[in-house]
């Protein structure tokens, strides 16, 4: 079994943003040479997430609105007593999760008809990393 690791770096323009990354992950899978296996795609920050979802901007806004309802950006989180102002971003990460594992079949992301991979930022405007670890044969 072989493994292959690459890192992606993001610096979003907005504090909250959804970034399509399917093409980048598919390129990494091709570079890995793995024909059958799995790829872990994981945000390396606790205020960001990686999801598999539909490539549709209305849905993206619905997801961000929903997350805002559940974990609103407000000044009274206990976390803010440490001098931080991103308590909501930590909670939003819990809603979306920080990683996905995707199947690789015949050397490519074996996805459903609408499935795409996205990096979701909740506390952006600074450098953040995502690890892509491909394992298989």
Q: Is 69 within the bounds of a domain?
A: no
On whether residue 131 sits in a domain, the answer given is yes
- The percent of residues in the chain predicted with pLDDT above 90, rounded, is 98
Confidence class for position 64, pLDDT limits 50, 70, 90: very high
Question: Could you tell me if 121 and 16 are in contact, meaning their C-beta atoms sit under 8 angstroms apart?
Answer: yes
Question: What is the pTM assigned to this prediction?
Answer: 0.95
For the cut 90, the answer to whether the pLDDT of residue 74 exceeds it is no
The pLDDT of 87-112, averaged and rounded, is: 97
Element (H, E) at 89: helix 87-96
Report d(CA 71, CA 48) in Å as an integer: 14
Domain around 118? 2-55+96-136
Per-position b or e across 84-95, b if 16+ CB within 10 A of its CB: eebbbbbbbbee
Calculate Rg over the CA atoms of the chain. 16
Residues 6+ apart with CB under 8 A from 12: 19, 121, 124, 125, 128
CATH number at residue 50: 2.60.120.460
Res. 106: pLDDT tops 90: yes
Cβ of 45: how many Cβ atoms within 10 Å? 20
Whole-number Å distance between alpha carbons of 34 and 103: 11
pLDDT at residue 127 tops 90: yes
In this predicted structure, the answer to whether residue 133 has a pLDDT above a threshold of 90 is: yes
Residue 90 lies in a domain: no
| Phi, psi (deg, nearest 5) at residue 77 | -75, 145
Q: Is residue 64 part of a domain?
A: no
Average pLDDT of span 15-21 = 97
The pLDDT of residue 75 is: 79
């Amino acid at each position: 079994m072989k493994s292959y690791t690459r890192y992606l770096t993001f610096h979003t323009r907005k504090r909250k943003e959804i970034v399509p990354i399917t093409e980048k992950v598919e390129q990494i899978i091709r570079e890995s040479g793995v024909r059958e296996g799995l790829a872990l795609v994981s945000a390396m920050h606790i205020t960001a997430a990686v999801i598999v979802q539909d490539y549709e901007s209305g849905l993206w806004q619905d997801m961000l609105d929903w997350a805002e309802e559940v974990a609103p950006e407000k000044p009274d989180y206990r976390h803010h007593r440490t001098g931080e102002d991103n308590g909501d971003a930590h909670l939003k990460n819990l809603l979306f999760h920080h990683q996905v594992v995707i199947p690789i079949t015949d050397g490519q992301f074996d996805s459903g008809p609408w499935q795409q991979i996205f990096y979701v930022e909740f506390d952006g405007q600074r450098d953040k990393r995502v690890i892509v670890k491909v394992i298989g044969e």
